[in-house]
């Protein structure tokens, strides 16, 4: 029986990598007329693949990896990013952006909400937002989870306003990283390379003018499963290939599945692929072993996310005067 991986896989990796490198080289050197490329190195698979492709396309001397940790980042992220930088032998800068985010009030905005819900919150506590899956008879309402200083977990209800405050403050992290990428990019005449994949792009799982702000997006037409396939082909370190994908913006480590998708990436990709290729519900069920209700609910959820995020994939809307 055919698997999801087999359905979505890239059939000729060597040819695809060559075409991606040609695209990057042409965009950077001919269209943007830059010396090279700059990539924000998160320690995750997407930025690892982007940096590796840029290195193959442009040479290690013409790629800068910018590592931008802050106090709520997972320490492993910086370790993994540095390991890839060393493997690729590209130039790098490590800039802790905690003080910049503090100036913007990012931590203050979030802690006001958190301490209102959990007065005993202190510097030893960790927190995250979890978005549970929507099921046939269950509404997936986001909640705040606190891991206290005694390692006890507390799951707390939050209002839509509190959820929006927490996520809006968190989005500043992405926008500050974009700002730093453009500062170092313009300073060194480098093209800013995006790292958003197709699965994220179609669902709106990126921050407008944050990680969605770039000069070129080499991965935007590749599903997440294909990114992992490319990562293995490009010999990305095992630590990066095997780790759970994460937004890495909450002090309590959270996966993409827990925060946004509610299902594993292979199911996300299958639903998106099914919509683009008109797969039948029966075929989806055969590939996924999901029930009819689960398939229909997931398709509906993905359709809603795609529709609600459409503005994020467009240029700013402009008024067109109708007078002579």
Give Cβ neighbours of residue 150 (< 8 Å, ≥ 6 apart): none
Is residue 299 within 8 Å of residue 275, measured between CB atoms?
A: yes
Structure confidence at residue 311 (pLDDT): 95
137 DSSP 8-state letter: T
Of 165, 195, 212, which residue sits at a domain end? 165
Judgement on whether residues 230 and 282 belong to the same structural domain of the protein:
yes
- 240 in the same domain as 142: no
Q: What is the largest CA-CA distance in the chain?
A: 70
Helices (H), the chain: 4-8, 13-25, 45-58, 75-88, 98-104, 106-117, 160-187, 198-203, 224-233, 238-242, 256, 265-277, 281-288, 292-308
In a domain, 319, yes or no: no
* Same domain, residue pair 160 and 271: no
Full pLDDT tens readout for the chain, 324 residues: 689 999 999 999 999 999 999 999 999 999 999 999 999 999 999 999 999 999 999 999 999 999 999 999 999 999 999 999 999 999 999 999 999 999 999 999 999 999 999 999 999 999 999 888 765 555 568 899 999 999 999 999 999 999 999 999 999 999 999 999 999 999 999 999 999 999 999 999 999 999 999 999 999 999 999 999 999 999 999 999 999 888 899 999 888 888 887 788 999 999 999 999 999 999 999 999 899 999 999 999 889 999 999 999 999 999 999 886
At a CB cut-off of 8 Å and minimum separation 6, what does 102 contact?
A: 108
Q: Are residues 125 and 31 part of one domain?
A: no
Instruction: Count up the domains in the chain and report the number.
Output: 2
Could you tell me the CA-to-CA distances from 244 to 155, 240, 292 in Å, in that order? 22, 8, 28
The residue segments making up the domain with residue 177 are 4-102+166-311
Go through 118-127 and write b for each residue having 16 or more CB atoms within 10 A of its CB, e for each that does not.
beebeeebbb
How is residue 80 written in tokens? 């993994």
Neighbours of 187 (CB within 10 A): 10
Angle at alpha carbon of residue 27, lines to 25 and 33, rounded to 5°: 95
Residue owning tokens 């095992």: 238
**Separation of alpha carbons 202 and 312, rounded Å:** 10
Q: For residues 266 and 5, is the Cβ–Cβ distance under 8 A?
A: yes
CATH number at residue 88: 3.40.50.620
Assess if residue 321 is contained within a domain. Answer: no
DSSP state letters, 262-323: SS-HHHHHHHHHHHHHT--HHHHHHHH---HHHHHHHHHHHHHHHHHTGGGGSPPP------
Same domain, 39 and 184: yes
**pTM of the complete model beyond 0.85:** yes
Dihedral (CA of 313, 316, 322, 324) sign: negative
Q: Give the pLDDT score at 264.
A: 87
- The answer on 154 and 25 residing in a single domain is no
- H or E element at residue 130: strand 126-130
Phi, psi of 190 (to 5 degrees): -115, 150
The tokens describing 199, both together, are 């699965």
Q: What is the pLDDT of residue 135?
A: 56
């Amino acid at each position: 029986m055919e698997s999801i991986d087999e359905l979505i896989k890239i059939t000729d990796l060597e040819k695809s990598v060559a075409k991606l490198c040609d695209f990057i080289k042409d965009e950077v050197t001919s269209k943007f007329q830059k010396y090279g490329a700059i990539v924000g190195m998160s320690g995750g698979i997407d930025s690892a693949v982007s940096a590796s492709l840029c290195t193959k396309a442009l040479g290690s001397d013409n790629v800068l990896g910018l590592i931008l940790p802050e106090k709520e980042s997972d320490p492993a992220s910086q370790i993994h990013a540095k390991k890839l930088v060393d493997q690729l032998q590209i130039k790098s800068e490590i800039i802790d952006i905690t003080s910049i985010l503090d100036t913007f009030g990012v931590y203050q905005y979030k802690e006001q909400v958190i301490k209102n819900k959990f007065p005993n919150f202190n510097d030893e506590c960790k927190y995250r937002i979890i978005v549970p899956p929507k099921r046939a008879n269950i509404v997936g309402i986001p909640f705040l989870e606190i891991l206290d200083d005694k390692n006890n977990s507390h799951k707390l209800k939050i209002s839509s306003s509190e959820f929006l405050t927490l996520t809006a403050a968190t989005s500043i992290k992405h926008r500050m990283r974009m700002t730093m990428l453009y500062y170092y990019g313009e300073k060194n005449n480098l093209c800013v390379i995006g790292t958003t994949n197709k699965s994220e792009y179609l669902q709106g799982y990126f921050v407008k003018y944050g990680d969605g702000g770039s000069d070129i997006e080499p991965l935007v037409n590749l599903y997440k499963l294909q990114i992992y396939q490319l990562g293995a082909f490009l010999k990305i370190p095992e630590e990066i290939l095997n780790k759970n994908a994460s937004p890495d913006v909450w002090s309590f480590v959270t996966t993409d599945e827990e925060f946004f998708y509610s299902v594993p990436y292979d199911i996300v990709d299958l639903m998106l692929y099914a919509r683009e290729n008109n797969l039948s519900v029966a075929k989806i069920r055969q590939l996924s072993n999901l029930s009819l209700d689960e398939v229909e609910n997931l398709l509906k959820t993905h359709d809603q996310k795609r529709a609600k995020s459409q503005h994020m994939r467009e240029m700013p809307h402009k008024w067109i005067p109708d007078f002579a």
